[in-house]
Structure 1
Amino acid sequence: MSSKTERIDDVQGVNELLWELSREAGEVLAVHHSRRQVPGGRLPGFIDRLRTGVSWRTIVPRALLDDPASAAYCRQLHQAGDRHRVTDDSVQQMIVLDRKVAFVPTMPDTRGAGALVIRDPGTVATVADLFERVWTHAVDLETAYPPVLLEHQVQILRLMTTVAKDDIAARELGLSLRTYRRHVASVLAALDVPNRVQAAVVAQRRGWI
C-alpha cells in the first residue's frame, strides 16, 4: 500500500484520528449512511466549533430521515452550522478534510468497517469532486425533512387526494363537510404545501398513497 494511503481496521482508531484531524480542519465534506455520533461528551464543543465559521457540509440518504432520532440529530447539527443535504442517489461514505485527507471505508456498505486514510492529492481531489457533484443535486435538509402526520391526518390525506368530491369523503369518515374541510386545511398546513395537487406529490413520495 502506498505511503500516502493508510489502512486502519480498528473503528475506534478511525474515529479518534478523524476527530483529531477534524478539530483543526477549516473545511469538512462528509457523506454518512447512518446517524453518526460525535464522541461522548464532545457534542457541545463540536457545536460551539461549528459556530466559529468552519465550513462543514454533510450529505445523508433520504432513508436516514425515516428514523425520528436520526432526523432530529441531523437537524440539530444542521442548525448549528453543519449544513446537511439529502440525496436519493447511491453514494459511498466519505469524509474529506481541507481537501488534503480523505477517509473512505475499507469495505463499502459494511457497518463497522475500518477506513483507508488517503493523502494522495489526485485521489483526494477525485473524492472531493464526487462529493461536490452529489451535493449539487441534493436538497437542503429543511426542504427534505419528512413531515410528521397523525394517523387520522394520513387518512384525511389519502381521501383528499383520491376522492373527487369533499362531501363523499366527509360521509365516508362520518364527518360534516365543514369539519372535513377544516381537517384538509390542517393537513395542508402540516405538509407546508398550498394545494391538494402538491399534497398528492408529497403523499406519493412518502408512500402514503
Structure 2
Amino acid sequence: MQEELQPDAVAIFRSIVADPSWTRETIERRHQISAERVDEIIDSLARLMLLRPSLDPAREYDPVSPEAAVIELLAEEERQVRQQQAQLARVRSSMLSLQQTYFEARQQRRPTEAIDIIQDRDMIRHLLADRARRTEKELRIAHPGSGMNEEGLARSRALDLLMLERGVEMRSVLQHSTRNHRPTRRYVAEVVRCGAIVRTVPVVPRRLIIFDRDIAFIPREGGDSAQGAVLIREPSVIDHLLSSFDALWEDGRAYPIDVDEDEADVIRDEIAQAILEQMAGGAKDELIARRLGISVRTCRRYIATITTSLGAQSRFQAGVLAAQRGLLR
C-alpha cells in the first residue's frame, strides 16, 4: 500500500487532469519518457485510486481528486482499525472486570506477599475497610494536610469507632493546621472520647496507615493518594515505617479540644520554625503553605513576622541569619 509518487508521476497526473483527451502516446511525447515508464506510472496512479476506468469508451482512465482517492483507498484499512479498537475495548473491559477478583484471590493465596501496588481508588477503600474490621491490637495513622473533607472524615469515623469499641489502640498524627479545621476538630473530639490519642506536628511528610504492626498502606510515588497506594507486608519495611511514625509521635503535641493561649503560642512558634526551615531549603510560599496545610496568605504573614524578627531585608537573608544563629535543626 505504501507507494510514493515520484516527480515524473506527479507531472503526468497534472497533465492527465489538465487534458481529458490524453493518451499514453501523448504522455510519452509531452514528457519525453519511455512507454514502459508511462505504463508504470499509470498503473501506480490507478493503484492509488487517482485514476479510475472511464465510462467514456474514448478514454482509458479519468482522474480522481486526491481527497476522494484517499477516502476510497483507506476505507478498508479504517474499517479494520475500527474493528480492532472495538475488540481492544471489549478485551480491556473484560479483563478489568476481574480486578477485584484478582486482588481478593491474591490476598487468600499469598497473604505474606511483601508489596502490592493498587491503583484503583475503590479497591483501596475496600482493602482499608476490610483491614480495619480485622484489626485486633493497634492502628497508627499519619495524615498530612489541613483536614479531610466531610465524606472522608465520615468514612474514617465509622471504621475508627468500630476499632475503638473492640479495644484497638489508635494513635494518629495530624498537622497543626487541623486545629483550625472544624470538621476535623469534631472528628477528633469523638474518637478521643472513645479512647484514641491524637497529636499534631507542623508537617506530616506523607500519609501512612499501619495495622497491627504487620501491614501498612502508603501513597504511590509523589505522595498523592489519588494515584494509588502501596500495600506493604515486609516486616523490615514496616519496622522502618513504624520508626518514622514514632519520631513524628514523639515530636507531636496533644490535640486538645479547647486550646489555651499558652498552647496556641507554642503551636504558632512551631509553625514558624517549620516555615523558617522550609524557607532555608529554598521552598516557595505556595509550596510551604501546601506542606503545612495553611493558606498562602497565612504563610506570608508568618514569613513577614519571621523576616522582621530576624532583622532581615529578604527571604534569603532571613535564611542566612537563621543558620548563623543556630535556629535551624
TM-score (norm 2): 0.42
- Residue 113 of structure 1: how far off its partner (Å): 3.0
- Residue 108 of structure 1: how far off its partner (Å): 3.6
Give the Cα–Cα distance (whole angstroms) in 2 for the partners of residues 203 and 132 of structure 1: 20
Q: Secondary structure at 1:59's aligned position in 2?
A: strand
Q: Secondary structure at 2:122's aligned position in 1?
A: helix
Q: Could you say what the CA RMSD is over the residues aligned between the two structures, in angstroms?
A: 3.1
Residues 139 and 199 of structure 1: CA distance in aligned 2, closer, same or farther (over 3 Å): closer
Which residues of structure 1 form unaligned runs of 5+? 148-191
Q: What do residues 134-190 of structure 1 show as CA deviations (whole Å, max 9, x unaligned)? A: 101101111xx564xxxxxxxxxxxxxxxxxxxxxxxxxxxxxxxxxxxxxxxxxxx
Q: Does 1:115 align with 2:229?
A: yes
User: 1:59-70 alignment to 2 at 5 Å?
Assistant: 59-70=173-184
Residues 97 and 199 of structure 1: CA distance in aligned 2, closer, same or farther (over 3 Å): closer
Give the corresponding residue for 2:110. Answer: none
Q: Does 1:77 align with 2:141?
A: no
Give the Cα–Cα distance (whole angstroms) in 2 for the partners of residues 117 and 100 of structure 1: 11
Which amino acid counterpart does residue 231 of structure 2 have in structure 1? V
User: 1:15-164 alignment to 2 at 5 Å?
Assistant: 15-25=125-135, 26-33=137-144, 34-35=147-148, 36-39=152-155, 43=158, 46-110=160-224, 112-142=226-256, 145=257, 147=259
Contact 1:104 1:117 in 2 (8 A): yes
Which amino acid counterpart does residue 5 of structure 1 have in structure 2? I
Q: Secondary structure at 2:227's aligned position in 1?
A: coil
Give the corresponding residue for 1:166. Answer: none
Q: Secondary structure at 2:238's aligned position in 1?
A: helix
Give the Cα–Cα distance (whole angstroms) in 2 for the partners of residues 199 and 129 of structure 1: 27
Contact 1:66 1:146 in 2 (8 A): no
Larger-Rg structure: 2
Contact 2:143 2:204 in 1 (8 A): no
Give the Cα–Cα distance (whole angstroms) in 2 for the partners of residues 97 and 114 of structure 1: 18
Q: Secondary structure at 2:200's aligned position in 1?
A: strand
Contact 2:124 2:229 in 1 (8 A): yes
Contact 2:170 2:196 in 1 (8 A): yes
Give the corresponding residue for 2:123. Answer: 13
Give the corresponding residue for 1:201. Answer: 265
Q: Secondary structure at 1:86's aligned position in 2?
A: strand
Which amino acid counterpart does residue 78 of structure 1 have in structure 2? V
Q: Secondary structure at 2:231's aligned position in 1?
A: strand
TM-score (norm 1): 0.63
Q: Name the one with the larger strand percent.
A: 1
How many residues matched?
156
Q: Secondary structure at 1:53's aligned position in 2?
A: coil
Higher relative contact order (CA 8 A, sep 6+): 1
Give the Cα–Cα distance (whole angstroms) in 2 for the partners of residues 203 and 133 of structure 1: 18
- Residue 90 of structure 1: how far off its partner (Å): 3.6
